[in-house]
Structure 1
C-alpha cells in the first residue's frame, strides 16, 4: 500500500509539473487546449484601465459585474453613447473643417448643441439679414471667429407684407405701395445712423480679426470703433458715404481695398468731394484697390490720392461726376496698373491742353464698360494718358464710332484688344487700328453687327493667322469668306482660335 500511495503521489506531481511547464520532457496526456480569451471578457474583467475613459465621457465607471442587474442595461445602451465625446474640441474642429462648406452649414450644426457651437467657430464669412441678431450680441456668441461681414441687407427696413420688391444690384427691399419714382426709397428705409453705429461697436468688440466689412448708413464714429478695435481690416465697402464718414476710415492704416458709393440716382444722395478724397488719401496710404461710385471731385482730390497712395494699382470709376480737368491727375498715380470706367456718362468734358495731361507709365489695362464715348476730345486725352497700356477692353459702350475708336491707335503697345457690343464699328476701321498695333497678340470681337466677314481683306486675314489668340463672333450668322480660310478658324458660327507658344 505504501508503494502504491507513493506512485500515485509521484504521478500527481509529474502531472502538475507538466501543466505548469510546457517544456517538461513528460507532458501530461490530460492537458487540454483552452480557447483564446474573448475580447469582451477581458474588457469586462479589466475595468480599472478604462475608468478614466468613462470619467472623460461623464459616465459611471464600469465596476458592475455580470451579476449586477444594471449590467445588461448598461451594455445594451453602450452603442447609443456619443463616441465623439472622446475627441477634444480642437481635433473635432480639424475634422469638421475638412468637410465641404455646404455640409458644414446645413447638416453638422443639427447633430447636437456641441456641434452647433463648434460649427459656429468654423464660419468666417456671414451676410447679416437681421440687425437685431447683431445688436443683441447673439451674432458674436454664435460666430466668434468671423472675419468677413456684410451688413448691407440687414440695414434696410423691409416691409415683408408687401409684394413689391425693389432691387439694386447688391441688395433688395420690400417696399409699400406708397413708393413713387421721385421717392428716395432706400434713404427712407435705412436704419437710423445711431442704430448702425451701435451695431458696429458690438461688431468691433467681438470680431477683432475682422478683415472685410460691407456697411451702409454709418457715421464716422461707428467707423472709428471699427478702426480702433479691428487693426487687421483690409477690405471696406461703404454705401451712402460722404466726406464726414471718410474721417472715420482715415484711421484704418492697414486698409488695402476700398469701395465708396456716394450718390445713386433714385435711391439716395450722398456727397464725396475733394475734401473727402484728401482725407482718405492722407489716412489710407496703403491702398491697393480703390473704387469710386457716384463720387464727385476734381483734379485736386485725385492728385492727393495719386501722391499719397503710392501703392495704388487698380482704380475703378463708376458713374463718376468729376469736374472738368480731373483726367490729368491720373499721371500722379505712378504705380497704377488697371484703370476701369463703368457706366460713366462722360470721361472729362474739358481735359485741357495735351502738355498738361502726362501719362501713367505703369498702366497695363484699360477697361471701358457701358460708358458713353461721344466726345472725341475726351477720348483722345484718355488714350494719351493710357499710351503704355497692354490691354484695352470696350464693352457695350455707346457712341463708340469709327472716329472715336481710331484714336486707340495712339496706344502702340497694345497686345490684347477686346470689342463687345460695339455695333457702330465697321470692318474697315477695325482693320486700320489693329494693323497699326504691331505688338497685337490677342483679338476678341463679339456682337459687333457692322463688322462683316465679307469685308475682311487679305492683309487682315494674314494678321489673323499669326495671332496667338483670336475669338471672332461679330454676329450669330457670321462666317468667314474664302480669303480667310487659312486661319484655321472653321467655316460657320463663332470661332475661337488659340495658339500655344
Structure 2
C-alpha cells in the first residue's frame, strides 16, 4: 500500500525557530556573566558596553577608576548609576568651565583647559573658569553618598563642608589631591582618619592663589596622623608647621615640597620627622632664606634619599644647612638645578655616609 503525498499547503507550514538570533547570555545570571566580562581585555570594554543595556550596566560595575570630564554627569546621578563600584575618581577636569570651541589649550601639570581669546596673562585664569564652591560641594556629597568605598579623590575648589561629607561617608579614603586649597579647607580633611597620601596645591602663579600656612599644616597634622606621603605645592609655612607634621605624623616616610614659600628657618623642623626616608624639593627658588645656627638644625636620622629638581642652589648657606639636616642620606639625585659649582658640591661632605652617591641630570652653573 502506497501513501500518496499530499500537496503542501503554505498556510499550514510552521517555521522552525532561528536559534542564531537568540541571546543565550540571558540564561546566565549577572554574577556569572560579570565574571566572564572581567576576564576580557580592557580594550574590549567599550565595544562590550554597546551590545545591550544589560551589558552596559554590567560593564559599569567593572570600572573602579574614572576621570570625569562633565560635572553634569555627577549632578544627574548617572555617574553613580552607571559606575557603582568606583574607588578612584578624578574630578579636576570637570571642575573647570572650559569653552570647547576654543583652539587655545592651557596645560599646567595635571590641569588642562581651553581658553577663550582675549584673556589677560596678568589675571588669575583658573579662578575665572572654576565651578562655584557650592556646586563642587553638592557634587562631592552626591559622590560620597554613592561611592562609600572611595579610596582616591582629586578635586579643585572644594570647601570644608564638601570634604567633611567625603570624610564622613568614605571611611576607606586613603589618597587625596586638593587643588586651590587653603587653611579653612584643611579643617574638612581632618576627619579622614585613614588618609595615607595627600597632595595640597595652594598657590600657582597665573592660575590661582590660595594660602596654606602653619595654621592649616597644624590642623592637617593633628587630624591625619596616618600620613605616609605628603606633597606641599605652592604652600607657605615655617618651622612650626613642619614641626607639627613631624610630631603628629610619625608614619610619614616621604615629603615633597614644590615651589614652596616657607619662611626662613623651616629646615630645622625636618629634624622632628624621625621616620622620614625620602625628601624631595622641586622648582624651589630658594632652599631656606635663613636656616639659623647649625646647633638648631638637627638632622633626619632615617633619611635615605634626597631629590633636588629644578631648584636654585646658588645660596651656599642654605645648601650647607640642607646637607647638615640630611647628613644621614645615602642617595642624592640632582636634576635640572641652577647654581651648581664646585664649592656647592663640596658642601655634601656633611653627609656622614661615605657611600652617598650623586645622580645628576642637566646641571647649570
With the shorter chain as reference, the TM-score category is: over 0.9
- 1:353 pairs with 293, 303, 318, which one? 293
- 1:194 pairs with 116, 134, 138, which one? 134
Aligned to 2:15: 72
Give deviations 1:352-383, integer Å, cap 9, x for gaps: 11111111000000000000001101001100
Give deviations 1:96-118, integer Å, cap 9, x for gaps: 111221222x2110111111000
For 2:271 and 2:14, the matched residues in 1 are separated by 85
Q: SS in structure 2 opposite 1:154?
A: coil
TM-aligned CA deviation for residue 408 of structure 1: 1.2
Aligned to 2:343: 403
Where in structure 2 are the equivalents of 1:379-398 lying within 5 Å? 379-398=319-338
Count of equivalent residues? 354
- 1:90 pairs with 31, 34, 37, which one? 31
TM-aligned CA deviation for residue 71 of structure 1: 5.0
For 1:114 and 1:288, the matched residues in 2 are separated by 41
Aligned to 1:128: 68
TM-aligned CA deviation for residue 342 of structure 1: 0.3
TM-score by length of 2: 0.95
Q: SS in structure 2 opposite 1:340?
A: strand
TM-aligned CA deviation for residue 415 of structure 1: 4.2
TM-aligned CA deviation for residue 409 of structure 1: 2.3
Structure 1: which 5+ runs fail to align? 1-67, 425-501
Structure 2: which 5+ runs fail to align? 1-10
Q: SS in structure 2 opposite 1:155?
A: coil
TM-aligned CA deviation for residue 73 of structure 1: 3.0
Q: SS in structure 1 opposite 2:106?
A: strand
Q: SS in structure 2 opposite 1:72?
A: coil
Aligned to 1:418: 359
1:225 aligns with 2:168: no
Q: SS in structure 2 opposite 1:118?
A: helix
Contact kept in structure 1, 2:127 and 2:208, CA below 8 Å: yes
For 1:402 and 1:177, the matched residues in 2 are separated by 48
TM-aligned CA deviation for residue 416 of structure 1: 3.4
Aligned to 1:430: none
1:183 aligns with 2:123: yes
TM-aligned CA deviation for residue 69 of structure 1: 5.8
TM-aligned CA deviation for residue 178 of structure 1: 2.5
Aligned to 1:205: 145
For 1:192 and 1:423, the matched residues in 2 are separated by 43
Q: SS in structure 2 opposite 1:120?
A: helix
Aligned to 1:100: 41
Where in structure 2 are the equivalents of 1:469-480 lying within 5 Å? none
Contact kept in structure 1, 2:178 and 2:200, CA below 8 Å: yes
For 2:238 and 2:296, the matched residues in 1 are separated by 15
1:324 aligns with 2:267: no
Give deviations 1:121-175, integer Å, cap 9, x for gaps: 0000000000000111110000000000000000111111222211112121111
Could you say which structure has the larger radius of gyration? 1
Aligned to 2:49: 109
Give deviations 1:242-269, integer Å, cap 9, x for gaps: 0000000000000000000000001100
TM-aligned CA deviation for residue 93 of structure 1: 1.1
For 1:112 and 1:408, the matched residues in 2 are separated by 65
Give deviations 1:181-210, integer Å, cap 9, x for gaps: 101110110000000000000000000000
For 2:323 and 2:200, the matched residues in 1 are separated by 26
For 1:70 and 1:328, the matched residues in 2 are separated by 95
Contact kept in structure 1, 2:100 and 2:114, CA below 8 Å: yes
Contact kept in structure 1, 2:337 and 2:364, CA below 8 Å: no
- 1:267 pairs with 202, 207, 211, which one? 207
Q: SS in structure 1 opposite 2:243?
A: helix
Q: SS in structure 2 opposite 1:351?
A: coil
- 1:148 pairs with 88, 96, 117, which one? 88
- 1:245 pairs with 173, 181, 185, which one? 185
TM-aligned CA deviation for residue 319 of structure 1: 0.1
Flag the structure with higher helix content.
1
Aligned to 1:296: 236
